[in-house]
Structures are given as C-alpha cells and as structure tokens.
Amino acid sequence: MIIIASQRGGAAKLAAHLLNDRDNDHVELHEVSGFLSDTLDGALQEARAQSMGTRCDQYLFSVSLNPPETEKVDISVFEQAISRIEERMHLQDQPRVIVFHEKEGRRHAHCVWSRIDTAQMKAVNLPFYKNRLMEISKEIHLEQGWKLPAGLIEREQRNPLNFTRAQWEQARRLDDDPKHIKAALKECWAVSDSKKAFESALEQRGYSLAKGDRRGFVAVDWRGEVYSLSKWLDVKTRALKERLGDPGKLPTVADTIAKTDKRLVERMQSFTAEIRQNSRTRMEPLLEQKSRMKTRHRNERHNLVEAQKRRWQQESADKQARLNKGLRGLWDRLTGQHGRTKDQNEREAWQAFVRDRQQRDDLIQRQLEERQSLQRNIGHVRHERNNEIEHLKTMIFSALPPEMKARLQEQFKQRQSRQNTPSHRPGHDFDLSM
C-alpha cells in the first residue's frame, strides 16, 4: 500500500478532516489509544495541550495508508503496517488514533500519533521518515503479492531510458553490484504472474526480455549486458517456459540491443531538443528587446538628424542675416566688415558641424553600449546552451563501453545523413569519441 505521511500541527483541522462524512461514504473511528479522551477531537486536542510545554509546533505525525484499488485488504493488514511503522519510527509508546475512510468503493486508513514524549517533554525525532515508509510500503507490496507501483522502484534501479534530464543529473553512476542485479531480477519475477507482467517489471528496471544464443531466456540491460535468467533467478528452464512461453518467439539479443540503442539515441535527441527549446524560451524576451531596441535606436538617430537639420537651417539663416545688403552691404565690403562676418559665419558653421557630428557620435556610442550589454546576455544564453549540451554528452556517455559509443555514433551519422543536417554545427550533435 502507498503510505503518505507528514509532521503537522492543527489538531482541530485534522480532526475535522478525519471525521468528514460529506466527502466520504463512511467514516469509522477504529481506535483511540494512549489518550485520556475517547473521542478523536479530544485526543488530538490533548496532544496539542501537551505540546504547549515544549517548543514543538508539529506535534502530530499523520499517516495515510492506501492499498491498491483492485485489492481486497483485511483490517489485519492495515494493523500490521501500522505496527511496523511504529517500530521503525520508534513510536511504540506514543498515543495514537486510527480512522478508516471509504470513498468510491475504496477503503483507506489514517493513523495519527502524538509526537510528544510526556516523560521527557520533548518531541520524538522522525529522521528520514519518508524513506523508511517507502521501504515498509515496498515490503508490504512484495509480501501481499501486489504489483509494485513505479514510484516504489528504487532510484538506482529505475530504467535510465525513462529518466528525465533532471533524473539523469541526479542519478549516480554506481558500479554494478551482482547483489543489486540479482535482487532486481528476482523482484521482477516475484511480482509478475505472466510474460506481459514480467516484461513490464523488467522494463521498469531497465532490462528487456530476449532469446539467448545458447540459453532460452535472457535479460538484456540498457548497456547491452546479457544475463541468463535461469542462472540469476535460480529458476529451472521448465518453470521459465511455463510462465514465459516459447523463447523462440522472443527477439534476439542483437535485435534487443539495436532497439535499446535506438531508444537511447532518441532519448538523447529529446534531451538536446529540450535544451534548445529552453534556450529559445529564454532567448525570446531578449530578441524582442533587441527588436524594440533596434527600432528605438533608429528613431533616436532619425530624430536627432531631423533636429540637427532644422537647427542647421535656422543657424544658416541667422548667419546669412548678418550679411547686409544694399548700400550697407557695400559699405561693409569697403570697410572689410563683410569679410570678417563671413569668416565668423564659416567658423561657426564648422563648429556647428563638429558639434552635430559629436552629438551623433555620442548617441551612437551610447546605443552601442546599450546594445553590447544586451548582446552579452544573448551570448550568455547561447554559451549556457552549448555548455548544457556538452555536459549532457559527458554525463551520459562517460560510463559507456567503447563499442556502444561506436554504435551510437554510427546511428547519429545515419540520422544526420537522412535529415540532411550539418554535422559540425557547434553544439548540434554528439561526438562520442571524447
């Protein structure tokens, strides 16, 4: 059964939830033990009152026990699970309440312990309780012969071909331990009652069922290693045939390895596509900013040029007005004033030209600095994308045998040839020769 737990306070809210007969078809208070009160609300309020003598805010340990939907489960199974939880979490002497809920034809249980040790007036420590409850859940599934949910498969033994990128990052490359391999294969055998169920269980662990060259039934892992089932399961060939049928109908080891290689290539390509999509998503606002910046910069330059043009025309008209006409103009020429005014106009015109050019240069420089700042952000996104792809290559292929790298490299080349994709674009493909 799936076991979900939390450390919490809120006695009144939890009591209301556990006694909620609106959302549940039936609610049964199965047990109240260790408390002075014989009601659920009174018991939880008693735990709250005891916690006030400590610094503990999460004075309750609430656990829900959910069996498989298709299984008929006796109360004794729930009670055994609760006793096992008490033992593993060192809650044997702690007060508890047990409530059963029935909803939509399914029955599940809730058990709530007080964490307050009244003898020492402190809360019982519950380290790693999620991991311990997962172990208990897995044990119950195996003992009852129930099919293991995917969430109960150990992280180290899950199929790497089904990993997400985050799971690839988290997964540690442990050396294959024969004990782990044998335990994984035996567990797959124990929880399956048919060929289909066995293949499904193997698939969750990263193995495929195949026909061996000399042995009838073998399991092939995602790296291409072959394991004889009769040897690793300690099961006779006759028993294997009774459950799995004719081995001749299974794919060969070579076909299985080729299929696994193809899936791994597809998985890597999906990871690369995910990296690129994330990069594009991060790049979109930067490219939009670039487009807006480009338009704004052009408008600023156009406006400056137009403003300078109008100012130049006005200044030119003012300079021209300094040159007198008629008799006064003739007098200015005779006295040399006309030449001096003309020289002044030329100096001022040159100064205006230098001023306008400097203004344009200053504007361009400011815009360049702004654009360069944006370009650094764009380059940073591209650099991170390429680094992620390089890290992905190293992470996935560092533990692969050379022959597998060679096979996958060949598959990449074939795919690139079919897709007519450049094979040397930076960060585009995988070079497995590293």
Phi, psi of 114 (to 5 degrees): -80, 130
150-154, 305-309, 329-333 — which is least confidently predicted?
Answer: 150-154
H helix or E strand, kind and range, residue 61: strand 60-66
pLDDT of 424 higher than 80: no
Instruction: Locate 367 and state its tokens.
Output: 């815009």
Sole residue written with tokens 């991060």? 282
Least Cα distance to 202 among 215, 191, 213, 214 occurs for 191
Q: Where are the alpha helices (DSSP H) in 213-322?
A: 229-233, 237-244, 253-322
pLDDT at 175: 43
Residues contacting residue 368 through CB under 8 Å, at least 6 positions apart: none
pLDDT at 266: 78
The 10 Å CB-count burial string (b at 16+, else e) for 79-113 is: eebbebbbeebebeebbbbbbbbeeeeebbbbbbb
Task: Report DSSP state, residue 124.
Answer: P
Binning pLDDT at 50, 70 and 90, where does residue 432 land? very low
Mean pLDDT on 355-362: 90
Which residue ranges does the chain devote to CATH 3.30.930.30?
A: 2-151
pLDDT top residue among 105 and 114? 114
**Distance, CA of 309 to CA of 288 (rounded, Å):** 32
Tens of pLDDT, residue by residue over 18-67, are 998 888 878 889 999 999 999 999 999 999 999 998 989 999 999 999 98
Rounded to the nearest integer, the mean pLDDT of the chain is 83
Q: Are 391 and 288 in contact (CB under 8 A)?
A: no
**Distance, CA of 413 to CA of 430 (rounded, Å):** 10
Q: Are 76 and 42 in contact (CB under 8 A)?
A: no
Q: Which CATH architecture has domain 2-151?
A: 2-Layer Sandwich (3.30)
Tens of pLDDT, residue by residue over 266-316, are 777 788 888 889 889 999 999 999 889 988 998 998 999 999 999 999 999
pLDDT of 114 higher than 90: yes
DSSP for 266-290 reads HHHHHHHHHHHHHHHHHHHHHHHHH
**Distance, CA of 396 to CA of 269 (rounded, Å):** 12
Please state, as a whole number, how many other Cβ atoms lie within 10 Å of the Cβ of residue 387.
Answer: 12
**Distance, CA of 240 to CA of 247 (rounded, Å):** 9
pLDDT top residue among 169 and 72? 72
Least Cα distance to 49 among 82, 13, 20, 9 occurs for 9
Q: Are 210 and 256 in contact (CB under 8 A)?
A: yes
Binning pLDDT at 50, 70 and 90, where does residue 200 land? confident
pTM, entire model: 0.43
